[in-house]
């Protein structure tokens, strides 16, 4: 069997991943005032035993008003930091998997209910709701509250919040930071002409709309240790005519590369309820390929990648440098084990589980001594 490309190492800046399977950030809506809970210990602990090359913590708010929901994870206070430290200490005691964090501000999509509660906006006058902020005073959807347009003081406050969260991430020993510039959240709102109608230096032209997200990247890059990578997640298209597109994504990626960005995580959509997304296996990968071909940076691809052979082909065919799994790895938390078995590769597993490998895959677990008394 040819050597699996999916299970080859990948370098993101100063961080070397043992393989190219990435666990994507997945919101859990299970925090308390931004604090990680026992759920996060269980959730992240078992994902950290999966054999993937990198685990990215869910969208983690840089401020209370930047949370998607009242139950979002945050890293904006000492209490938040202490709670996440407890989770990370427990996880790292049993796993050497690199752990990064996605840091985010939800902008006008903040103050929302959890998905299992319908996901609708909680208006400022309702219990648990608050006034949102955005590039422009445009509601995300009909019937939602109009956000406050950020002025110069607000922009400075948000930049500082991203930098402060990056410093907290550094203290926690997190190995990388992904800045969330996708899925219709604040930085994506600045990029898209559908949500940014400012007439100052942060709106109008492509250069102006890119300005604030790039300032945030610079602030985070400066606040995080130079030897640890910082990268960005971008929606390559809004799936709406006249919205953000792949050409803008490529321009943004070039600008990020010039600032020391370590990778681009390519996804799509999220800024408008009018989006028309043609769902199907690997539906976002053509955009990842376009970015990869245009920009000399590692690209992480995502989007209905569910089968090992499919993921292997993504790497082998040059569509992306790594694949990110979300729902697929929630459904099958040992997906990397099963993929390695199918592809003839080896994968890390905790010694307590070494005896579980089937006899036909007796060399599956790196470092294991097969057999039992």
- Residues carrying an active site annotation: 185
Closest CA to 61 of 107, 114, 113, 103: 103
Give one word for 211, left, alpha or beta, with left for phi > 0 and alpha for psi -120 to 50.
Answer: alpha
Give me the residue label for tokens 């099958």: 332
């Amino acid at each position: 069997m040819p050597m699996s490309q999916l299970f080859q190492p990948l370098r993101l800046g100063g961080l070397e991943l043992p393989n190219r399977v990435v666990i994507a950030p997945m919101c859990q809506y299970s925090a308390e005032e931004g604090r990680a809970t026992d759920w996060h210990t269980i959730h992240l602990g078992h994902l950290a035993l999966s054999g993937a090359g990198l685990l990215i913590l869910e969208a983690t708010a840089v401020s209370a008003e930047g949370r998607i929901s009242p139950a979002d994870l945050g890293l904006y206070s000492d209490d938040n930091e202490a709670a996440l430290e407890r989770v990370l200490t427990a996880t790292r005691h049993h796993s050497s998997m690199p752990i990064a964090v996605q840091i985010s501000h939800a902008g006008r999509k903040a103050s929302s209910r959890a998905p299992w509660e319908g996901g609708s906006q909680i208006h400022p006058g309702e219990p648990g709701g608050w006034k949102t902020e955005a590039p422009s005073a445009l509601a995300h959807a009909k019937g939602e509250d109009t956000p406050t347009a950020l002025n110069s003081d607000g922009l400075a406050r948000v930049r500082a919040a991203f930098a402060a969260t990056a410093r907290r991430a550094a203290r926690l020993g997190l190995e990388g930071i992904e800045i969330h510039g996708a899925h219709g959240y604040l930085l994506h709102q600045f990029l898209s002409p559908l949500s940014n109608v400012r007439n100052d230096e942060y709106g109008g032209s492509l250069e102006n709309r890119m300005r604030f997200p790039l300032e945030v990247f610079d602030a985070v890059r400066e606040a995080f240790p130079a030897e640890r990578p910082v990268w960005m997640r971008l929606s390559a298209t809004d799936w709406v005519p006249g919205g953000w597109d792949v050409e803008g994504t490529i321009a943004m990626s070039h600008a990020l590369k010039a600032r020391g960005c370590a990778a681009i995580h390519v996804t799509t959509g999220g800024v408008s309820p009018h989006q028309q997304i043609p769902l199907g296996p690997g539906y976002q990968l053509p955009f990842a390929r376009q970015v990869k071909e245009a920009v000399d940076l590692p690209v992480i691809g995502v989007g209905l990648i569910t089968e090992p052979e499919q993921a292997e082909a993504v790497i082998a065919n040059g569509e992306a440098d790594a694949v990110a799994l979300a729902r697929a790895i929630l459904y099958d938390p040992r997906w990397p084990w099963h993929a390695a078995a199918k592809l003839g590769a080896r994968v890390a597993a905790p010694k307590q589980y070494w005896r579980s490998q089937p006899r036909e895959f007796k060399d599956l677990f790196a470092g294991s001594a097969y057999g039992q008394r």
